Amino acid sequence: MLSWEETVSLYIEKYQDLIRKTTEPLRHHFGVTYFTYHHVQQNGHYSVLLDRPDFAAHYVQNELFKLDPFLRHPRFFKSGFFPMSEFFPGSTRYLLDQEYADFFNTEPGFIYIDKQTDGVDFFGFVGAFTKEEVFNLYVKNAGVLKRFCHFFKKEMAGILKKMKLDPIFLSYLNSNFDNEVLSIKDLQNKDFLKKIGYERELLSFSSLSKREVECLRLLLLNKTAKEIGISLDLSRRTVEAYLESAKDKLDCFSKSTLTQKALLFSDLGLF
């Protein structure tokens, strides 16, 4: 298991020339002055590459990983483009905003989240953008930026393969890895759902355990109990027990009604 300091030294600093060369198109065409990529697996394995080693050293030295809202279990995220600040919890929002202002002389940029069955990818973009420019940039260029993200992973495949053999374990190093920390946007969304008549659904969802929610998410992807077990490192019988428990809590009497309920939760943005 690597430490934060070892990851910076053995990967981010060692391969900085290759990483900077790969992200050059972002600087030239979009004015992105800082790009970061990291992957979090279901079991807490974490790998990271970025094109600013100076910020990586600052991040570790000042223990910003303790405040980072993106170093958490994949179940807390969904795919898409978002302003980074939407994920900054109220208690630390000022501190994180100030870090970006002091180091990059700009506001936090935006992030593309690509969720998969085994984990989640995060691609961060920071530059001298106003809030309006951030929104316009990722809305108008979403397709091109997604293609860059795939290109970056392809170019870094050899390095990322090495990192997976000796990863950081967020589940041990980050106390917030498995804890739900609601952002301001999350709180606003849940308040909105209550006001338009979905309080009962919110209560039903809150009755589910973390493992039950994970199983339901994968059920929506048409995964069998065996396949869900492989993804979550659980036995098939354990997965079936979680699904049965979820059926009882949600008053569902078949797999199809359970799937419909899970789909509703997904439509409401609870997954």
CA quadruple 247, 250, 252, 256: dihedral, nearest 10: -80
Half-sphere exposure of 40 (CA within 13 A, CB side): 22
Structural domains in the chain, sorted by start:
4-173 (3.30.450.80), 184-267 (1.10.10.10)
Give the pLDDT confidence score for residue 195 in this predicted structure: 82
**Residue 89 confidence (pLDDT):** 65
Token representation of residue 192: 């909105």
The reported pLDDT for the residue numbered 184 is 46
Enumerate residue ranges in the chain where pLDDT < 50.
184
Q: How far is Cα 92 from Cα 30, in angstroms, rounded to an integer?
A: 29
Beta bridge partners of 35: 125
Burial (Cβ within 10 Å: 0-12, 13-18, ≥19) of residue 195: exposed
Give Cα separations from 32 to 94, 170, 218, 256, 263 (angstroms): 23, 28, 35, 46, 37
Model confidence pLDDT, tens digit, residues 45-81 = 999 999 999 999 988 888 888 888 888 888 888 888 8
Please name the amino acid found at residue 123.
F
Specify the pLDDT at position 221.
84
What angle, rounded to 10 degrees, do the helices at 255-267 and 199-206 form? Answer: 110
Please state, rounded to an integer, the average pLDDT across all residues of the chain.
Answer: 86
Residue 188's pLDDT is 60
